[in-house]
Chain A
Amino acid sequence: MKQLGKKLFTLIITLLIVSLLAFLAFQIIPGDPTTKMLGTNATPEKAAQLRSQLGLDRPVFVRYFEWLLHFVRGDLGISYTYKMQVSEMLSDKLPITVLLTVLSFLLTVLIAIPLGIAAGRIKNRWVDHAVLIADQLLMAIPPFFFGILACFLFGIIFRFFTPGNFIPPSEDLGASLSYLLLPALSLALPRIAMTVKMLRGSIQDELTQNYVYTARSRGLSQWGILRRHVLRNAMIPVITFLAVSAAEIMTGTIIIEQVFTIPGVGRLLLSSIGSRDFPVVQAIVVIMAAWIVIVNFAADLLNFLIDPRRRAG
């Protein structure tokens, strides 16, 4: 319990540091946001007025804590370009990206874990080679090329879907999910390949350990040994890796949304970078970073529950 508290404390500290860095990153931007907002009719007086209106004339740390307080309350700032609340701009886009991320992550876990276990149990030279070659190939194909291939094959040749014709989940969840299936799979495929490779190696390493022989000599079935002893140990590095995958998938949506023209957070991020709309960029970056920190924390927690050595030590 004490360790759990310690972990929670580290989580909060990490979140604070990450948010501070994200905040500072956007403070060192060359150029004044006021010149951009005022455009051609900027005068020094008007700029100064706007600066104090935006609170830009106060010390950085004061502004950071103020921004943070607003942020946790859901006030993510006001867009320079659209002059509206960032939270409002995100409210219909975030669910789409979250849906895509979760779907892709579920696909990764549900496909990679059974495949990895199956591949780990088989000891055959040809299966080894087949798995490795398939892995190498899948890892070499970037998700956005998978996406383009999928658009070409299923969108243009077989006409299963119309690329660009996305239906938001608020209108029709089923249609939305079925549109998101291919993008999610494009993101998941390289991660599946990596996870299978890793889980398989991890299981095969564990199977050569002495405790496996002991368990077998005690008369446990092969499956029983795998489930009760081997998998527990083999899963530890894989869980950590799955956290990395969850982070990669989240940021991968930025690219894949572009390929499938999905109106999610990634597309908003890109257009905001293009128009130098920093409050929006900042909010999205902080949300993504927070997700990554929390996912890593969850993986750490899960390993903590699986591995009695960590609970003891």
Chain B
Amino acid sequence: MKIRKNAYFVTGGILSGILMAVILTGFFWTPYSTTAMNAAEKMKAPSFRHLLGTDNFGRDVFSRVVSGAGTSFLIALMVVAIGCFFGILIGSLCGYYGGIADLVLMRICDTITAFPAILLALVIISVVGGGSGNIVIALGILFIPSFARVVRTQFAVCRSQNYISSAKLMGVSGPRILFFHILPNTFSVLLPSVTIGFNNAVLAEAGMSFLGIGIQPPQASLGSMLKDSQTYLRSAPWYALGTGLAVVLLVLAFSLLSEGIQQGSRRQ
């Protein structure tokens, strides 16, 4: 596979590598405290002391962006994990066994995907209430159909292939065929879906937190910071610009990666 030479894959890989390194470091150490307020340093423009300036409480924006990106990253990761796990489970069973259950479940999946995630998430959140746990569960459930669809298609193709018939004749058990024989063959299509899903999760969480129904203070995510920063757009524009740029970089890195992977698998 020549994917390592693909410019998009390489750029996306390097960019996401750097971002992950910064985010991981941010879990343990940030240049300044993310919560301690400092009245003397209120709304200072970017400088060498504060790379992205300070906010209305004198907190270092860069430190807060790093930890906010960490929150957004973790939430997106959990959303994709939930969506992927149940998506694989439902998709594999539906694709392999087919039948009425398959028809019904896929019809439901199609209906869910027809509605924008944010609308459904808003309904769920307005019923069960906000907060990071509920956001993860709501978005996680809404992300199941897209994964289930992709996995199902692959399983439906694979089940009639010779190596599966041979495995069946050799007496390999159903679950073993599903998860050890077919599942590895779906990874090439699953991988781009995972990166795209991750991006959608980052954007959905940012949107919800921006609306004030996602992450609740004092916890900060990129979305909730963008919401706060909008008030100070006139007096401290670096706050909004720095935070927004972090969202863009995070999404861009992973979308370049997925574009590279897709181009690579198309050429094969």
What count of chain B residues pass the 8 Å CB interface test? 39
Interface presence of B206 (CB below 8 A): yes
**By the criterion CB–CB under 8 Å, are A25 and B259 in contact?**
no
Against A, the Cβ 8 Å flags (1 = close, 0 = not) of B230-268 are 100110010011001001110110011001000000000
Against B, the Cβ 8 Å flags (1 = close, 0 = not) of A164-184 are 000000000000000000000
Beyond A29-B127, A251-B116, whether A156 also contacts B255 by CB under 8 A is no
Interface residues of B in 100-151 (CB under 8 A from A): 111, 114-116, 118-119, 122-128
**By the criterion CB–CB under 8 Å, are A142 and B206 in contact?**
yes
The docked-state distance in angstroms from the alpha carbon of A285 to that of B199 is 25
Closest B residue to A285 by CB, please name it. Answer: B123
Identify which of A36-44, A60-68, A131-139, A221-229 touches chain B. A131-139
Contact of B115 among A30, A142, A292 (CB under 8 A): A292
**By the criterion CB–CB under 8 Å, are A25 and B210 in contact?**
no
The docked-state distance in angstroms from the alpha carbon of A52 to that of B85 is 45
Closest A residue to B203 by CB, please name it. Answer: A142
**By the criterion CB–CB under 8 Å, are B248 and A141 in contact?**
yes
Interface presence of A206 (CB below 8 A): no
**By the criterion CB–CB under 8 Å, are B119 and A142 in contact?**
no
Interface presence of B167 (CB below 8 A): no
Beyond A136-B255, A273-B126, A292-B114, whether A285 also contacts B119 by CB under 8 A is yes
CB distance from A281 to the nearest CB of B (A): 5
CB distance from B68 to the nearest CB of A (A): 14
Interface presence of B226 (CB below 8 A): yes
Beyond A144-B226, A145-B244, whether A136 also contacts B259 by CB under 8 A is yes
The docked-state distance in angstroms from the alpha carbon of A244 to that of B122 is 18
Contact of A255 among B210, B241, B247 (CB under 8 A): B210
Beyond A136-B252, A292-B114, whether A28 also contacts B127 by CB under 8 A is yes
**By the criterion CB–CB under 8 Å, are A22 and B233 in contact?**
no
**By the criterion CB–CB under 8 Å, are A137 and B252 in contact?**
yes
What count of chain A residues pass the 8 Å CB interface test? 46
The docked-state distance in angstroms from the alpha carbon of A236 to that of B95 is 26
Task: Give the 7 A-B residue pairs with the shortest CB-CB distance, closest first.
Answer: A140-B252, A145-B244, A140-B251, A251-B116, A273-B126, A251-B119, A140-B248
Q: A252-B116, A289-B115 are in contact. List 13 more A-B contacts (CB 8 A).
A: A22-B123, A136-B259, A137-B252, A140-B251, A144-B207, A145-B244, A148-B230, A148-B240, A148-B244, A152-B237, A270-B211, A273-B213, A292-B116
A: residues with CB less than 8 A from B are 14, 17-18, 22, 25-26, 28-30, 132, 136-137, 139-142, 144-145, 148-149, 151-152, 156, 244, 247-248, 250-252, 254-255, 258-259, 269-270, 273-274, 276, 278, 281, 285, 288-289, 292-293, 296
